[in-house]
């Protein structure tokens, strides 16, 4: 009960923070700066990105490739526009995979918070985000967009992993490392694609952003293929772990049956050396396990029985017989 309460409290705190950021963004928007191109970007985002959600293997969470569009909005129209686009996209996407209002609000707020943090990080080091492309300094653009992707990745995956860990009763670090660390592929690819499109629009005009379609498709195919391979690797690892557990349990059952068997039992090498001896056999032959280990069964076999016994052993070793029984 306490776990559920704490999880909801954290989710509500994120929602409140996201709501405050959205209100700040709305008041900071300059409609004349957006115009029809921004509306077209929203439509393109909802038509493409919101319909491409990828299930995280073995975990109740999804990721999308909306980062491309949000990063593009940030570079072209400013962080306020990116926040609004992120809010619209994540809400639309969440409605497709969730039904609880709190989960939908949390998903949207988490994305809004991480987008704002990434914009603040870039602005602190490189100036206004929407002026990066105009500067034309490719080195600065590369460093700034890399920082933008990194902060967005850490913030968004960290927030979602925290709630996921609380819900599952796991450590946040373990949940993040297992289920979210690899989503860096999506953020880095999204920032690179958005930067490429932003540079293209600065020279060829905004509508050249339609060239984004094949890039999105390539990113999606690469990402989904990577996830399929990861899911397959996770499944194989789980099967191997189960096999090891079953093997250990089988060995434990064997040793229990071997050690406490009422009849004499032993494991013997092909050279006749005692490898393992149970207590019953030691009592039958009159030697302790310590005395037998390291010696050979030939040492306690009567000379008249040795040749026929060895003959039977050779037959078993060479595959001429599966079993052999001799009375001595």
Q: Domain containing 284 — which CATH number?
A: 3.30.450.20
Same domain, 123 and 227: yes
pTM score: 0.62
Same domain, 134 and 177: yes
pLDDT tens digits for range 86-107: 999 888 888 877 778 998 999 9
Of 272, 320, 316, the C-alpha closest to 297 is: 272
Q: Of the residues 244, 278, 296, which one is the last residue of a structural domain?
A: 244
What's the structural domain count of the chain? 2
- Check if the beta carbon of residue 97 is closer than 8 Å to that of residue 53: yes
Question: What is the span of the domain harbouring residue 142?
Answer: 2-244
Q: Which helix (H) or strand (E) holds 325?
A: none
- Of the chain, the end-to-end C-alpha distance in Å amounts to 69
Same domain, 27 and 55: yes
Same domain, 238 and 280: no
Classify residue 212: in a domain, yes or no. Answer: yes
Which two three-digit tokens encode residue 13?
Answer: 């705190």
Classify residue 328: in a domain, yes or no. Answer: no
Classify residue 324: in a domain, yes or no. Answer: no
Same domain, 86 and 175: yes
Q: Of the residues 212, 244, 276, which one is the last residue of a structural domain?
A: 244
Classify residue 219: in a domain, yes or no. Answer: yes
Q: What residues are paired with 268 via a beta bridge?
A: 274
DSSP of 182-229: GGHHHHHHHHHHHHHHHHHHHHH-GGGGGGHHHHHHHHHHHHHHHHHH
Same domain, 174 and 25: yes
pLDDT tens digits for range 25-76: 999 888 878 888 888 888 878 876 655 555 545 544 444 567 888 998 999 9
Q: Give the Cβ contact number of residue 107 at 10 Å.
A: 27
Classify residue 325: in a domain, yes or no. Answer: no
Same domain, 215 and 290: no
Same domain, 283 and 233: no
Which are the contacts of 294, defined by CB distance < 8 A and separation ≥ 6? 273, 274
Higher pLDDT, 154 or 238: 154
Helix (H, G, I), strand (E, B) or coil at 65: coil
Same domain, 94 and 182: yes
Classify residue 327: in a domain, yes or no. Answer: no
Position 230 scores a pLDDT of 65
CA 148 → CA 99, 132, 190, distances in Å?
A: 31, 12, 11
The CATH number of the domain holding residue 165 is 1.10.1760.20
Which two three-digit tokens encode residue 305?
Answer: 């029985």
Which are the contacts of 73, defined by CB distance < 8 A and separation ≥ 6? 38, 41, 81, 82, 85
Classify residue 11: in a domain, yes or no. Answer: yes
**Average pLDDT for the chain:** 80
Q: Of the residues 244, 276, 292, which one is the last residue of a structural domain?
A: 244
**Distance in angstroms (rounded) separating the CA atoms of residues 133 and 142:** 10
Same domain, 44 and 160: yes
Same domain, 237 and 273: no
Position 61 scores a pLDDT of 47
Q: Which helix (H) or strand (E) holds 282?
A: helix 279-285
Position 4 scores a pLDDT of 83
């Amino acid at each position: 009960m306490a776990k559920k309460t704490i999880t909801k409290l954290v989710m509500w705190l994120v929602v409140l923070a996201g709501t405050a950021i959205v209100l700040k963004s709305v008041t900071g928007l300059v409609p004349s700066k957006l115009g029809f191109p921004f509306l077209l970007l929203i439509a393109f985002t909802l038509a493409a990105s919101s319909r491409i959600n990828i299930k995280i293997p073995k975990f109740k969470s999804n990721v999308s490739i909306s980062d491309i569009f949000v990063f593009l909005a940030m570079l072209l129209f400013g962080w306020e526009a990116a926040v609004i686009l992120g809010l619209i996209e994540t809400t639309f996407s969440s409605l497709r995979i969730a039904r609880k209002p709190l989960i939908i609000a949390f998903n949207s707020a988490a994305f809004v918070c991480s987008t704002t943090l990434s914009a603040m990080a870039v602005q602190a080091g490189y100036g206004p985000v929407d002026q990066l492309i105009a500067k034309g300094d490719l080195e600065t653009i590369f460093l700034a967009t890399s920082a933008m992707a990194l902060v967005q990745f850490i913030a968004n995956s960290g927030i979602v992993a925290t709630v996921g860990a609380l819900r599952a009763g796991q450590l946040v670090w373990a949940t993040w490392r297992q289920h979210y660390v690899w989503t860096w592929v999506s953020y880095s690819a999204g920032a690179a694609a958005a930067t490429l499109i932003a540079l293209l629009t600065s020279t060829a005009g905004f509508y050249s952003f339609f060239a984004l379609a094949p890039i999105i498709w390539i990113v999606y195919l690469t990402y989904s293929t990577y996830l399929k391979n990861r899911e397959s690797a996770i499944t194989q690892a789980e099967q191997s772990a189960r096999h090891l557990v079953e093997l250990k349990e089988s060995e434990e059952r064997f040793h229990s049956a071997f050690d406490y068997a009422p009849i004499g039992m032993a494991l013997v090498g092909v050279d006749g050396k005692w490898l393992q001896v149970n207590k019953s056999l030691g009592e039958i032959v009159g030697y302790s396990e310590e005395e037998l280990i390291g010696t050979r069964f030939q040492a306690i076999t009567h000379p008249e029985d040795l040749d026929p016994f060895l003959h039977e052993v050779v037959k078993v070793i060479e595959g001429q017989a599966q079993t052999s029984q001799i009375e001595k």
